[in-house]
Amino acid sequence: MNATPQARSAANRIPTDIHCAQDYEARAREAIAWPSHEYIAGGSGSEATLRANLAAFAHHSILPRLLRDTTAGHTRVELLGRSLPHPVLLAPVAFQKLAHPAGEVETARGAAAMDACMVCSTLSSCSLEDVAHSAGHDKWFQLYFQPARAATLDLVRRAEAAGYTALVVTLDASIQAPSIRSLRAGFQMPPDVRPVNLAAYPVPPQVSLEPGQSIIFQGMMTEAPTWKDLAWLIEHSTLPVIVKGVLHPDDALALRALGVAAQIVSNHGGRSLDGVPASLRALPAIRAALGNSYPLLLDSGIRSGGDIFKALALGADAVLIGRLQVHALSVAGALGVAHMIKMLREELEVCMALSGCPTLADIGPEILFD
């Protein structure tokens, strides 16, 4: 039975044995039904990329500097014309009712309490309007291109009307790569957890294949976006368009040339193409290609403030948190989400203070040992 863990949400308090942000990971194993937990925690294929993400952060050490005055220190960052109090954003994560009966609305409340920008997924299990209502000022909508342009455009208009301030277009998951781990765990989406934002759009007729044609290329990939679609979207959106899922510097340059306002270096937390490099390893070349002033974010594998520090050192302006957000949500609802963000921020501040970096701008590659 694949029940959502309703009972757990009643315990809307922080367990006494949470001592760092990552402690929510272990606690979530008890809070989320096992198949759902495996769906959330797992990666695609052999999980090589999932492991690579974590290993990339572990690889780097911090080489601190002594006697620097950090008493005017802060974690503020300018992003797309906004001053954010810290560089910790919540990544788009679908189907959060798997982790908490109030789903993304609960997460949004936690993010708002910490002035964190939340990115609401196209595949959220609460409506994008309800999520916007609970979120703070800084909220972005993650857009998956839909098979019909009319549906894509309707999502854009709804996001604009709901008060989202940017669109995050995810381009690294045109088809879903299977997660062997969640298949083995017998995961099936519970009937009460649905992509409600898409409910009103007609389901396109199934492509009929000729003999010898591929279900992937001539089937599913016929609905995948191309450069033309992205150009069309930029033309039709009143919101700045951010692209998520960038790993190649040449793509980064082409995206910027097309008018993309910011980019997220990401491998989808190791959930899309297995075998791609850790986002952290891809980051320096992309930062070098784009130069220092272009807004660049990173996700995939961040579990601590130390990891955030390393991502900033290698060129990110800010980071997004995926799994930890759902883990904290499952353990203590909005309070857990807010607490997890607070802990990450404080872990980052400890790194900054002890390494002699009073501001995010002071965190450069030279502060890493290798």
| 269: contact with ligand FNR by CB under 6 A | yes
Asked if residue 139 binds ligand FNR (CB under 6 A), the reply is: no
CA dihedral of 195, 182, 169, 200, whole degrees rounded to 10: -10
How many angstroms separate the CA atoms of 311 and 314, rounded?
Answer: 5
Query: Which letter does DSSP use for residue 206 in this model?
Result: P
Find the binder of ligand FNR among 48, 62, 113, 123 (CB under 6 A).
123
268 assigned to active site: yes
327 part of the interface to ligand FNR, by CB under 6 A: no
Question: Rule CB under 6 A: is residue 170 a binding residue for ligand FNR?
Answer: yes
Cα-Cα-Cα-Cα torsion 153, 154, 158, 164, nearest 10 degrees, comes to -20
Yes or no: say if 181 and 44 are a contact pair by the CB < 8 Å rule: no
Cα Rg of the chain (Å, integer): 20
Single out the residue of 299, 307, 317, 347 in contact with ligand FNR (rule: CB under 6 A): 299
331 binds ligand FNR (CB under 6 A): no
Considering the complex, state which of residue 177 and residue 353 has its C-beta at the smaller distance from ligand FNR: 177
Q: Are 44 and 270 in contact (CB under 8 A)?
A: yes
Our CB check for ligand FNR shows the closer of 38 and 355 to be 38
- Name residues contacting ligand FNR, limited to 239-268 (CB under 6 A): 244, 266, 268
Q: Per DSSP, which regions of the chain are E strands?
A: 77-79, 82-84, 88-90, 118-120, 139-143, 166-170, 241-246, 262-265, 296-298, 318-321
37, 268, 327, 339: the active-site residue = 268
Rounded to a whole number of angstroms, the minimum distance from the CB of residue 87 to ligand FNR is: 14
- Residue 45 engages ligand FNR in binding (rule: CB under 6 A): no
Q: Does residue 360 interact with ligand FNR by CB under 6 A?
A: no
| Interface with ligand FNR (CB under 6 A) | 40, 53, 91-94, 121, 123, 142, 170, 244, 266, 268-269, 271, 299-302, 321-323
Catalytic residues: 268
